[in-house]
Structure 1
Amino acid sequence: MHTTTLDAVIPETCVSAAVAAPSIHNTQPWRFCLDAEAATFQVRAAPERGLRHTDPGWSPVGRLLPAPEDPGLLAVVRLVGSAARRPMRHRADLYEAIWRRHSSRLPFSGRPLPPSLRNELGEAARMEGARLWFPDPVETAGLLRLTAEAERRNRVDTDRAAESNLWVHRDLEPHSDVGLPRAVLGPQDAREHLPLRDFTAQRHTERLVARPFEAAPVVAVLITEHDRRADWLRAGQALQHVWLLATAHGLRVSLLHQALEWPDLRRSLSPTPGRTGPVQMLIRLGYGPEGPASPRRAPIVVLDEVLPSR
C-alpha cells in the first residue's frame, strides 16, 4: 500500500496544538516522535519534567498503552487522512479553542451555568470514556473542605513546597517557556472559602493579593471507572475535551487538584467512596475574566527526530 509522506507543516501544526494541553505547574512533561512515512505520532512521557512529590504517579497495573515493553510510550496517534471523509466526533470550533484555552485563577461571577451546558460538558467527558459529576452546594462545600485540607498540608510539607516554588519564576527570567510566571498566579480568595493553589508556597498578601471570589463556586468532578494507566490517559483526554468545549462557550476554568495529591483525601472525593470510580480532577467553571496564559514550548523543542524508515 502506498503511504504518503507528511508535509513538514502538518507535524508542526499538530504538535503546536498538542503542547497547548494543560499540565500541572505547566511542566509540559511530554515529547513527540514522528514517523512521517507511516503518518504516525508517538506521545512519550518526559519523566525528567515530572513532579516527584506533587504528581508522582503509580506503578502501572494491567495492560500498558500501547506497548507493555515500553512504559514511556503513552500513545500512538495515526494520521489517517482528511477529517472531511469521516463523521465529525467533536464540535468543529474546538480546534480554534485550543489557542484560547488556559487557566484563569481570577474571581468568577455568580452567573449560573445553564443545565443544557452542564449536560453538554458531561457528554464531552462521556465521549472520552469518563464521567463528569456536578455536585450540589452541600457536596461542593465538602469537596472544598478537602481541598483546603490538602492545601494546608502542601504548605507545611517542605519537599512539596520547594518543588512547587521551583516552577514559579519571574516573568523576565530566561528559559521561561515552562513553569508558571508570577503574572498567571492570580490572587487568593479574601473570604478563604475557595482554596486556590498557592504555587509560591508562601501565602503572604504582599506576594499574592486577596480578593473576594464567587460565593458559590461551580465545581465539576471528573471520574473514571477504574484507576489504571489507561484511565489516566482517558481522564486527560476528557479534561481537554471538557475544557475546550467550556472555552468555546465562553467559560473560564481553573483546576483544584490539591486533594488528589493525598491518597486519603482523594478517596474521600468520590461521590460514594468505595462504590463509585476514582476522581481524577476537580474543575472550577464560571464566567469571568480571561486572565493571562502560561507559556508553551515550541514544537521543535518537543518533537524528536523522524523515526527510521521501515
Structure 2
Amino acid sequence: MDESSERTSLHALLQQAVLAPSSHNTQPWLFRLNETEQVVELLADWQRALPVNDPDNRELHISCGCALFNLRVAAADAGLSLDWTLLPKPETPNLLARVHIGRGENETTLASLGDALIHRRTWRNRFKPETLSAELQNALCEVARAEHGHVRLLLNSELRQQVVELVKQGDSLLWQNESWRDELAQWMHPGRAGDGLTVPRLVAPLVRGVVRHFDMGKSMASQDRLLAEESPLLALLSSDGDTPRDWLQTGQALQHLLLVAQQQGVQASYLNQPIQHAQLRPQLEQHIGAQGHAQILLRLGYPDDRLPASPRRPLDDVIIE
C-alpha cells in the first residue's frame, strides 16, 4: 500500500470513529497518526472538557471510549485486523489508546455493526409504546459484558419510580448552578458550527441568554419525568472501577450496546443527571443495587421518526501528525 492509500485508509476509518456520541456534542478527541507504521493514537482534547458538568473528565473518557469502539467497528467492516491497547497513565493522561492497523485479529463479529454506526442517533423525544423483546434486552447486557461493563435493566415499576425521582432531583440541582448553565449555553451553536448542541442561527443568542439567566430546573424535571416514565426500557451501565481506564471501557460497552440496539431500530438518550451530581450518584447506586460504579443511565425505545446526524468537526481538525 502506497503512502497515499495508507492515508486514505486511515482517514476513512477515522471518519467513522468521530461519529461517536459525546456530552454536549463536544467531540473531545484527537488522533495522532503514524501512517508508515499504520498506528493511530487516541488522545483527549482537554480544550473540549466540561469542568462544571464533568469535573473529573469521566464523561470525556467515556466519549473517547465510544470513538475507539467505532474505530474497531470500522476496521472490522473494512476487513482489517487491528490490535488496540488502553494507555491512560498519570504521567501521560492525554494518551488514551494506541491502535495498530493490520496487526492482531480481525474482529469479524463487529463487522455487521458498520451500518448501525452510520445511522445511530440520540433520540430525545418520546418513544413509541412498543416494548423491547427479551432477546434484545439480553443481547444488550451480553455485549456490554463483553466490553467489561455491567447493565442493570430497570424492570420493576417501583424501582423505576425511585430512579425517576433522582433524575428530577438532578435536574433541579444542576439548573440551580449558574456555572453549569453558563457552560451549557457555551456549547449551544448553529448546526454549521460543527459541534455543540444545535439551535437555529437566528434564535441562538436568545436561547443562550435564557439558559444562562433562568433556572429551568422545575420544567426540565417535569419533562424528563414524562420521558423516563413513558420509556419502554431504562438501563444503568456500570463498571467495576472508577478510573480513566474503566471509563474508556465503559465507553466501548456503551457504544457496543447502542449499535446493537440500532441494528433492531432501537435508539437511546441519557438521564445522567443523578450520576453527574456527586450527592445523588451513591443514592442511585444504592437504589438500583448497581454492580460497581454507576456510569450511564439510559432510556431506550423505538423512535417514530428519522433524525439528521448531529454536526461533526472537519476530520482535519481532529488529526495531528
Q: Using structure 2 for the length normalisation, give the TM-score.
A: 0.78
Within-5 A mapping of 1:1-310: 7-57=6-56, 65-80=87-102, 86=106, 88-90=108-110, 92-136=111-155, 137-171=157-191, 176-182=193-199, 200=211, 202=214, 203=216, 213=227, 215-217=229-231, 218-270=233-285, 276-289=291-304, 290-305=306-321
Hey, what's the Cα distance between the residues in 2 that align with 1:68 and 1:80? Answer: 29
CA RMSD of aligned residues (A): 3.1
Deviation at 1:293, TM superposition (A): 3.1
Could you tell me whether the CA contact under 8 Å between 2:150 and 2:239 is conserved in 1?
Answer: yes
User: CA offset at residue 88 of structure 1?
Assistant: 2.0
- Aligned residue pairs, count: 278
Q: Distance in 2 between matches of 1:292 and 1:87?
A: 29
Relative contact order (alpha carbons < 8 A, sep ≥ 6): 1 or 2 greater? 1
Q: Given the superposition, is the C-alpha separation of residues 292 and 145 from structure 1 closer, same or farther in structure 2, using an over 3 Å criterion?
A: farther
Cα distance change on mapping 1:219 and 1:145 into 2, 3 Å: same
1: distance between equivalents of 2:286 and 2:139? 21
Q: How big is each residue's C-alpha offset from its partner over 1:264-307, in whole Å with a ceiling of 9 and x where there is no partner?
A: 211112256887300110111001233343211121110111xx
3-state SS, counterpart of residue 75 of structure 1: strand
The answer on whether the counterparts of 1:104 and 1:292 sit within 8 Å (CA) in structure 2 is no
Instruction: Give 1:226 shift.
Output: 1.2
CA distance in 2, matches of 1:147, 1:214: 9
CA deviation after TM superposition for structure 1 residue 182, in Å: 2.4
Query: Any conservation in 1 of the 2:228–2:234 contact (CA below 8 Å)?
Result: no
How much has 1:170 moved relative to structure 2?
3.5
Aligned-residue identity in percent? 31
Paired AA for residue 265 in structure 2: G
CA contact (8 A) 1:16 1:298 kept: no
Structure 2 vs 1, CA of residues 87 and 238 (structure 1 numbering), >3 Å: closer, same or farther? closer
Could you tell me whether the CA contact under 8 Å between 1:105 and 1:291 is conserved in 2?
Answer: no
Alpha-carbon distance in structure 1 between the residues aligned to 2:317 and 2:8: 15
Unpaired segments ≥5 residues, structure 2: 62-85, 201-209
**In structure 1, distance between residues paired with 2:174 and 2:247:** 23
Mapped to 1, the partners of 2:263 and 2:257 lie a distance apart of 10
CA shift, 1:67, in A, is 4.5
Shift of 1:247: 0.9
Residues 212-270 of structure 1: CA deviation (Å, up to 9, x unaligned): 75743211110111112211000011111111111111012111111111112111122
* Deviations 1:45-67, CA, capped at 9 Å, x for gaps: 0111110100121699xxx8245
CA distance in 2, matches of 1:248, 1:274: 29
Deviations 1:78-102 (A, max 9, x none): 112596xx46243x32112111112
SS in 1 for 2:282: helix
1:21-51 Cα deviation digits (max 9, x unpaired): 1100000111000111221111000111110
Please give the alpha-carbon distance, in whole angstroms, between the structure 2 residues aligned to 1:22 and 1:213. 20
Give the C-alpha shift of residue 147 in structure 1: 1.1
Higher share of residues assigned helix: 2
